[in-house]
């Protein structure tokens, strides 16, 4: 087997592993969201969990969309870099919201 084919197989394997890890991240986020769904709280910090956000905002956003009436399921987020760490990605993928993500780097936008 040529070196090129070995490298290609390696990167294909890495992609599959990354896809599975992302699937598991989202699945755990869905489980955490359901566990907190009916939990009474007076503190938003109790609702925190992290799927794609940096500091637990995914859980807070899930709490808010369950308790605040929202007519348009649309978001805007800017400064998203390559969108791997984001406050709206779980909202997009888990709750099927629509949105606009913006970053100043053409390289990041091309990646997204």
| Residues 27-72: tens digit of each pLDDT | 999 999 999 888 888 888 999 999 999 999 999 999 999 999 999 9
Q: How many CB atoms lie within 10 A of CB 33?
A: 22
Token pair of 38 as six digits: 């009916």
The DSSP secondary-structure symbol of 66 reads H
CA max distance for the chain: 61
pTM equals 0.81
| Residues 19-33: tens digit of each pLDDT | 999 999 999 999 999
What does the alpha-carbon distance between residue 41 and residue 24 come to, in Å, rounded to a whole number?
Answer: 27
């Amino acid at each position: 087997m040529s070196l090129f084919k070995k490298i290609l197989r390696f990167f294909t394997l890495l992609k599959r592993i990354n896809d599975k890890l992302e699937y598991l991240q989202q699945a755990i986020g869905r489980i955490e969201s359901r566990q907190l769904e009916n939990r009474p709280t007076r503190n938003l910090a109790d609702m925190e969990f992290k799927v794609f956000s940096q500091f637990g905002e995914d859980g807070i956003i899930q709490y808010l969309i369950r308790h605040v009436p929202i007519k348009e399921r649309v978001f805007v987020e800017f400064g998203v870099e390559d969108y791997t760490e984001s406050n709206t990605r779980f909202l997009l993928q888990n709750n099927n919201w629509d949105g606009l993500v913006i970053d100043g780097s053409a390289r990041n936008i091309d990646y997204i």
